[in-house]
Amino acid sequence: MIDKIVAKMPKSLSGKEFTYCPGCHHGIVHRLIAEVIDELGIREKTLLVAPVGCSVFAYEFFDVDGTVAPHGRAPAVATGMKRAMPDKVVFTYQGDGDLASIGTAEIVHAANRGENITTIFINNAIYGMTGGQMAPTSLLGQKTTTTPYGRDAKANGYPIRMSEMLSTLTGSTYIERVMVTTPQNVLKAKRAIKKAFEIQLKGLGFSLIEVLSTCPTNWGKSPIEAGKWLEEDMAKYYPLGVYVDRTKEAE
Amino acid sequence: MNFLNLDARVFIYIGMFGSGKTELAINTAVELKKSAEHVALLDIDVISPYFRSRDQKNALEEKGIKVISPPGALSHADLPIITGQVGGYISNKEYLTVADVGGNEDGATVLGSLKPFLDPVRKKTFFVVNALRPFSTSFNEVVRNVKKISQSGRIKIDYLVNNTNISSETNVEDVERGEKIIAKVSEYLEIPVAFSVAKDGLDFSGKFQVFKLKRYLKNLW
Amino acid sequence: MKMLFKGSEAIAEAAVRSGCRLYFGYPITPQSELTEYMSRRLPEVDGTFLQAESEVATVNMMYGASCTGKRVMTSTSSPGFSLMMEGVSYMAGAELPAVFINVVRGGPGLGDIQPAQSDYFQATKGGGHGDYRMIVLAPHTIQEAVDLMNLAFDLADKYRMLVTILADGMLGQMMEPVEFPKMRDPNDVPKKDWALTGASDHDPRKVTSFDIDPYELEKMNLRYQATYKKVEENEVRYEEFNTEEADIIVVAYGTMARIVKTTIHMAEREGIKVGLFRPITLWPFPYKRLNELSDTVENVLTVEMSYGQMLEDVKLGVNGKANTPFFGRSAGVVPTPTEVLDAVKKAMGR
Ligand SMILES: Cc1ncc(C[n+]2csc(CCOP(=O)(O)OP(=O)(O)O)c2C)c(N)n1
Ligand code: SF4
Ligand SMILES: [Mg+2]
């Protein structure tokens, strides 16, 4: 079913083969973003800031002008771009290590300034690229290569809920958490992403879509098991939904 | 320049950043010391990291001028320190006191905190203008600066001072340029001009009294 | 018309005149006046001033802004520059032009806020990771700093490199009369056929410092090295003062060179002819000319407001042809002309 939705190659993808593992959601989210860019007709004025993480090659996969930021700094890079060229559409694509650990200061302040950019935040509760270490979003008890006995709140603190936290900032215009495990929620995710870009196009300020995402490889789960764990464990701790919507006030 | 005629015990220099307040405050203290027994110089510049009155502390204290600045090593810090002594010297009737306040709105804000001490004393506040400094080169800019700074210092300005100069290269035309602008500002804001400043060795006479300035804050070379 | 400017303010105004309309920065003494000046000045010329949340964010905002091909700058002082190093390396790797001002203060660590020159290694030898170089300019007067700003932006654009103006707290804080060049049209800067401006009139462009294929990355590195070589061949700048038939040559830059000029006059009265060799580009360092001069004297004395950092480059330049004594004070203590004169005499065995 998912295959059917994403079968046609969006124009805003370059056609380079994805580097993602089977069952990884990075690829699905890429397609959704590309479809949205196509539908809004903004490919020629979109600038992408890719992160350091599994999606480091995002700048190659999208057929738009793009760059790679230092680990965690995409919101600052995007700020510089947007301030230099306010009429372009600037978006960052960031993992949870990138956004919720090393780059917390940058995302908090970009949101707080109401920076007119869009952030797509891939929360897979793990450091994918570097081989499955604990992320600030890893669940309690989750085994990773740096929490071999499971994540322990005493030693490692608690999984951080970024959407909730960022939604407390008056500068955040729109924040929603979605997942892409079923055709229904894929459609919802796409609608959310589209809304986020539309908000930027209207100049209404900072928008962020958090996508709960699988990492079968580092979770040590088959794609089907991974999808199940995501829906049953992750989504329980990270409830889906719209966390803030200030579009009315901003308009 | 005869400051004793001004019917004041406390002389306050405010103005834009880099307008020459510190040099003027030092010169004023030295001038006062010629005829008064007790003179104090208050360094309440919380803005500038270098080139402050406190850097001349030893030289001035040799002349018998009391310099009040943050103690010891703290005088090299970029901390906004106002010592408790400051209020004391403002109130002390034995002393003629000169206050060197930091530049711009930010520097003048300090005066607000000293209001309880300043309100009851006889004082004159001088607004120093160097019309060859950035953001001070036109009538409009100077008017805006005077308004903003007197607001943030919550203090009435009694006199304007023309300190238009480009340091060692200053010539007569430079000072005259400042006189022109400041005369206009004076008329518009109805604040009298106390004097024009001319550095030692510059033969200048103009519309206003002239205060000959000796340079104390020297470069190392 | 000459005006009276603080070094920090003058550098800011000169940057505006060079067509820079984008400034990102974070306050730090002794250069906050530069940041404050920009916050007042840039809105007057439809520019963008943004106080970033940190120097880490600052340098990355510069990265983003520079990607669009526009002129961008920041200013900071030592600890802030340290914090920027990751971004500096990324920008160097992505061949993004930008101008940094480092108004150096006493270190290491929090140090103090007094003038120093102890960031020489950081500026000229790296600081960030990887085989990159930055052009480093060292003005010794405020007028020179103003005059070097246009050059800084032009060199950055021409070579797609980072340029650092290495000043010290003294230059940043003192006031001098200055004259500014004419305002340059910010749109009248070299065209950048690599800039990210939206893939409307070009195929999608990518600006990165990245290639996981070592042979490809090596190619990128060789390209950087070729650029650096060109800069070394064409952009060396220095000043010689009183060096002809000098009894001794003193090498100094920035504020220290100012002080040495006073020493020269003092020495003259004692019958010693002191020559000053003043590198203006600290990278590329004027090794060649210094080597030639070393034939003419027995002693090449290095004087720094640090403990022998530039000395290493002086030794490379002199290459054994003369003695290379050293005198320096650091941590915010500035050597006086008399102390330098004593060092001169000591070096000459007087
Ligand atoms: C300064 C710095 N520290 C560490 C790294 C190594 N590193 C690369 S990606 C990464 C974590 C990536 O995790 P995440 O952001 O969650 O992305 P994912 O791979 O899971 O999509 C780390 C630690 C780096 N590139 N730079
Ligand atoms: S390691 Fe995980 S996050 Fe990275 S591509 Fe593979 S499945 Fe996706
Ligand atoms: Mg991750």
Q: What is the pLDDT of residues C6-21, one digit of tens each?
A: 999 999 999 999 999 9
C262–chain B Cβ distance below 8 A for any pair: yes
Q: In the CATH scheme, what is the code of domain B3-213? A: 3.40.50.300
Nearest chain C CA: its distance from B84 CA (Å): 24
Q: Is the CB of A139 under 6 A from ligand 1?
A: no
Count CB atoms within 10 A of the CB of residue B156. 10
Residue type, C237: R
CA angle at A83 for the pair A81 and A84, rounded to the nearest 5°: 65
pLDDT at B102: 80
pLDDT band (50, 70, 90) for residue B74: low
Atom 7, ligand 2: which residue's CA is nearest?
A215
Q: Kindly list the structural domains of chain C, giving each domain's residue range(s) and its CATH number in brackets, ordered by start.
A: 2-234 (3.40.50.970), 238-347 (3.40.50.920)
Task: Please report the pLDDT score of residue A75 as a whole number.
Answer: 98
The beta-strand segments (E) located in chain A are 46-50, 65-68, 89-95, 118-123, 172-179, 206-212, 241-245
Tell me the chain C residues in contact with residue B165 when contact means C-beta distances shorter than 8 Å: 4
Residue (of A178, A137, A183) closest to A157 by Cα position: A137
Q: What's the pLDDT band for A1 if we cut at 50, 70, 90?
A: very low
Spell out which residues of chain A touch residue C187, defining contact as CB-CB under 8 Å: none
CA gap B82, B79 in Å, rounded: 9
Please give the distance of CA C2 from its chain centroid, rounded to a whole number.
25
Q: CA quadruple B102, B103, B106, B108: dihedral positive or negative?
A: positive
Q: Annotate A123-173 with DSSP letters as a single string.
A: E-SSBTTTTSB--TTPPTT--BTTBTT---HHHH-----HHHHHHTSTTEE
Amino acid type, C30: P
Expressed in angstroms and rounded, the spacing between residue C127 Cα and the centre of ligand 1 is 22
C159 has pLDDT over 80: yes
pLDDT of residue C189: 84
Which atom of ligand 1 is nearest to A129's Cα?
A: 19
**Residue of C4, C179, C340 to mutate, interface with B, max B Cβ within 10 Å:** C4
Which among A241, A181, A245 is positioned nearest to A214, based on CA atoms?
A181
Indicate the SS3 state at residue C263: helix
Q: Measured between CB atoms, does B148 come within 8 Å of chain C? A: no
Task: Tell me the per-residue pLDDT of A19-78, one tens digit each, with 9 for 90 and over.
Answer: 999 999 999 999 999 999 999 999 999 999 999 999 999 999 999 999 999 999 999 999
Residue A71 Cβ < 6 Å to ligand 1: yes
Q: In order of start, what are the domains of chain A with their CATH numbers?
A: 26-250 (3.40.50.970)
Using CA positions, which residue lies closest to atom 8 of ligand 2?
A24
- Residue B75 binned pLDDT confidence (cut-offs 50, 70, 90): low
Q: Are B206 and B176 in contact, with CB atoms under 8 Å apart?
A: yes
User: Model-level pTM?
Assistant: 0.92
Name the neighbours of A, counting chains with at least 3 Cβ pairs within 8 A: C
Task: Output phi, psi for C347, to 5 deg.
Answer: -60, -35
Instruction: Tell me the chain A residues in contact with residue C22 when contact means C-beta distances shorter than 8 Å.
Output: 80, 83-84
Residue type, C180: F
Cα–Cα dist A203/A86, whole Å: 9
Q: Do B135 and C40 touch (CB under 8 A)?
A: yes
Q: Which two tokens stand for residue A215?
A: 């990492």
Across B75-103, average pLDDT: 83
Nearest residue (CA) to ligand 2, atom 1: A128
Question: Of the residues A57, A73, A127, which should be mutated to test ligand 1's pocket, given the most ligand atoms within 8 Å of the CB?
Answer: A127
Question: Which candidate, C114, C115, C171, C179, places its Cα nearest to that of C142?
Answer: C171
Touching pair B, C by Cβ (3+ pairs < 8 Å): yes
Q: What is the CA radius of gyration of chain A?
A: 17
Evaluate: CB of A126 within 6 angstroms of ligand 1. Answer: yes
DSSP string, C283-305: ES--HHHHHHHHTT-SBEEEEES
Are A80 and C65 within 8 A, CB to CB?
A: yes
